[in-house]
Amino acid sequence: MEDHTLIKDKVGQAIAILREFNVDCWITFARETVLNGDPVLDYLVPGDLTWQSAIILSSSGKTCAIVGQYDTQSISDIGAYDAVIGFVEGFRKPFIEYMATLKPRTIAVNYSKESEVCDGITHGMYLTLVDLLRELHLEDRIISAEEIISALRQRKTGRELASIKAAVRHTEEILLLVGDFIRPGVTEQQIASFVHRELERRGLGPGWEAATCPAVFTGPDAAGAHYSPTTRQVQPGHLVNLDFGVMCERYVSDQQRTFYVLREGESTAPREVQRGFDVVVRAIESSRRAMKPGVRGVDVDAVARGITTSAGYDQFAHGLGHQVGRSVHDGTALLGPAWEKYGQKPFVPLEEGMVFTLEPRVTIPGHGIATLEEMVVVTSGGAEYLTRPESQLLLIRP
């Protein structure tokens, strides 16, 4: 039987979070989740749900799942819910009866204007839920579950951190092997295929969509991010960047490494390449030192951004770092600038247990992109590396 300890841990954590935020009840309401899955369901159930289904957690400690009859056994097997109520003809009656016994003052529902990981309920399901609660005169008690879901995702348990660390170990081992494979003449696609074969050999999956994991960029004028590997060949004088992560035990990693391909007669990278790389290293370490609970992501981002721009480089066109967990882009809080596209995410204070990437980058004309992506976890006193931080530019000899 599948081990459901993680789900039980997170359900217990969610109840504690409800009490912390003084919220009586949290409802996750979904249907046909293989088509319209709520991102938070991975923490609450082991698979997809078919018919209208509600996972109801209460600050009193009560836990209930109301699901279609054929889904009851898989939910019961979790051992996390006091009541698993199955229905055949319709969802309405068991839901109304159960909610009438709770009579909650506040009902958190999974919608958010700011956070994609907290915005899991579809508009149609939201309207349906409002109609159901109106029958009990509870429709005016709905609030956003953003605070609850954010806290649940970002406060990593020891078990979650262990899985992320395992993913990081595999990623680092594979990146070392890639360094031996890269040589002049190989293409971005061949490098990616090498990585995919190694993942298959280890029985692991990519950290995100395989078409862009790894993302591989060689030389100047490459796409630089979020693009599939091409037939472009590695050449002497190129900077080669790999953006790569692994899924292990349902958690992922996300790391980047940069290699310089030596030209004939070179034993070290050109000064401008080495300088750019060193600026990236300094930006990462300085921003890590700025991280601790209560600090805002916008202020951490400003540390790294200030170092790269004061060194004469254009500012990088993305946030310094995002959270990582069950997904490669996870959580609400962000290490980012006060740009419109990020909304309020950069202003969310850091909390112990959050896992972030740190990934500044600079462009070296004629060579390509110099970048690194490290992973850190916020601790009570600061932030600790989960990755082995790269401090030396990786050299590929002809």
What range does the domain containing 384 cover?
Answer: 155-396
Which of 131, 153, 175 corresponds to the end of one domain? 153
Amino acid sitting at position 157: T
> Is residue 148 domain-shared with residue 165, that is, in the same domain?
no
Give the distance between the most distant pair of CA atoms in the chain. Answer: 80
Reduced to 3 states (helix: H, G, I; strand: E, B; else coil), residue 107 is strand
Model pLDDT, residue 398: 79
Q: Provide the residue count of the chain.
A: 398
Model pLDDT, residue 1: 41
> Is residue 347 domain-shared with residue 224, that is, in the same domain?
yes
Q: Is the pLDDT of residue 9 over 60?
A: yes
Residues in contact with 96: Cβ distance below 8 Å, sequence separation at least 6, in sequence order? 132, 135, 136
> Is residue 236 domain-shared with residue 356, that is, in the same domain?
yes
Give CA separation, 61 vs 29, 134, 220, in Å. Answer: 19, 24, 57
Give CA separation, 191 vs 175, 198, 220, in Å. Answer: 11, 11, 17
> Is residue 179 domain-shared with residue 302, that is, in the same domain?
yes
Question: d(Cα 66, Cα 289) in Å, to the nearest integer?
Answer: 46
Question: d(Cα 12, Cα 17) in Å, to the nearest integer?
Answer: 9
Model pLDDT, residue 227: 86
Residues in contact with 139: Cβ distance below 8 Å, sequence separation at least 6, in sequence order? 130, 131, 133
Reduced to 3 states (helix: H, G, I; strand: E, B; else coil), residue 53 is strand
Kindly report the CATH number assigned to the domain that includes residue 68. Answer: 3.40.350.10
Which of 118, 153, 188 corresponds to the end of one domain? 153
171-228, pLDDT tens digit by residue? Answer: 999 999 999 999 999 999 999 999 999 999 999 999 999 999 999 999 998 877 888 9
> Is residue 145 domain-shared with residue 202, that is, in the same domain?
no
Q: pTM of the predicted model, to two decimals?
A: 0.94
> Is residue 91 domain-shared with residue 190, that is, in the same domain?
no
Kindly report the CATH number assigned to the domain that includes residue 328. Answer: 3.90.230.10
Two tokens, residue 163 = 């899985």
Question: d(Cα 35, Cα 287) in Å, to the nearest integer?
Answer: 39
In b/e form, how buried is each residue of 131-150, taking b as 16+ CB within 10 angstroms?
ebbeeeebeebbebbbbbbb
> Is residue 388 domain-shared with residue 291, that is, in the same domain?
yes
289-341, pLDDT tens digit by residue? Answer: 999 999 999 999 999 999 999 999 999 999 999 999 999 999 899 999 999 99
24-79, pLDDT tens digit by residue? Answer: 999 999 999 888 889 999 999 988 898 999 999 999 999 999 999 988 999 998 99
> Is residue 199 domain-shared with residue 313, that is, in the same domain?
yes
Q: Is the pLDDT of residue 241 over 50?
A: yes
Give CA separation, 133 vs 21, 92, 100, in Å. Answer: 22, 10, 10
Q: Is the pLDDT of residue 356 over 50?
A: yes
- Compute CA 55 distance to the chain's CA centroid, rounded to the nearest angstrom: 23
> Is residue 259 domain-shared with residue 350, that is, in the same domain?
yes
Two tokens, residue 238 = 């190129």
69-114, pLDDT tens digit by residue? Answer: 988 999 998 999 999 999 999 999 999 999 999 999 999 999 999 8
Q: How many folded domains does the chain comprise? A: 2
> Is residue 101 domain-shared with residue 175, that is, in the same domain?
no
Model pLDDT, residue 302: 98
244-286, pLDDT tens digit by residue? Answer: 999 999 999 999 999 999 999 999 999 999 999 999 999 999 9
Which of 153, 181, 202 corresponds to the end of one domain? 153
| Pairing assessment for the beta strands 368-371 and 361-364 based on DSSP bridges | antiparallel
Roughly what angle, to the nearest 10 degrees, separates helices 297-310 and 271-290?
Answer: 160
Amino acid sitting at position 156: K
Closest CA relative to residue 207, chosen from 158, 259, 256:
256
Count other C-beta atoms under 10 Å from residue 216's C-beta.
28
Confidence band of 2 (pLDDT split at 50, 70, 90)? low
> Is residue 119 domain-shared with residue 230, that is, in the same domain?
no
Question: d(Cα 120, Cα 132) in Å, to the nearest integer?
Answer: 18
> Is residue 186 domain-shared with residue 327, that is, in the same domain?
yes
